[in-house]
Amino acid sequence: MKKKFEKDREHWARQGGKEKFYQSCEPSRANQFRLQDAIEQMKYRILNEHAGANNRTCTLLNFFKCPYGKEYAALIKAGRNAEQLFTNLDWYHNHWHKDPGIILSQDELKWYHFNDPELIDLTDYDDIMKATEDGRIQKIAEEREAYEKTNTEQPPP
């Protein structure tokens, strides 16, 4: 993610900045893009601070050559936990924030909460960390699991 953000920063600097892009968009789309960018920044912060990456990167695919030694297992576990958190945050985002380009069937609408109050501020690191402790993430994870179980196609008998 660090390399992606650096590359994006260079790209947007050459284009005159993201704000220039946002201003060229229809206002509701610009707001969606801003929210998505803020979520990506939050994911990067979660990896850095919560999962312990601390701005370190590694492109090695051979764990025997891992430059982080004994810390390897803890970093892998923290990274997997962060990925699980991202899965839940993405599911929450998609089920609480309507994308005008998506049309849902009546059956699917029961899994969406477009008019419900926000459970988590996806742009606030402290709120996300608090949500991992106070049960809000668990509530989202349980609903995501129920949704996936219900919406997974069953093979014909």
Residues of the chain scoring pLDDT < 70: 153-157
Contact 46, 128 (CB under 8 A): yes
Phi then psi for residue 135, to 5 deg, are 100, -5
pLDDT of residue 95: 92
| Token pair 């701005």: residue | 55
pLDDT, one tens digit per residue, over 61-81 is 777 787 887 888 888 898 899
pLDDT of residue 90: 93
Q: How far apart are CA 84 and CA 76, in angstroms?
A: 12
pLDDT of residue 153: 60
Please report the DSSP string for 68-124 in residue order.
TGGGHHHHHHHHHHHHHHHHHHHHHHHHHS--TT----TTGGGG--TTSPPS--TT-
- CA-based angle 1:10:18, to the nearest 5? 90
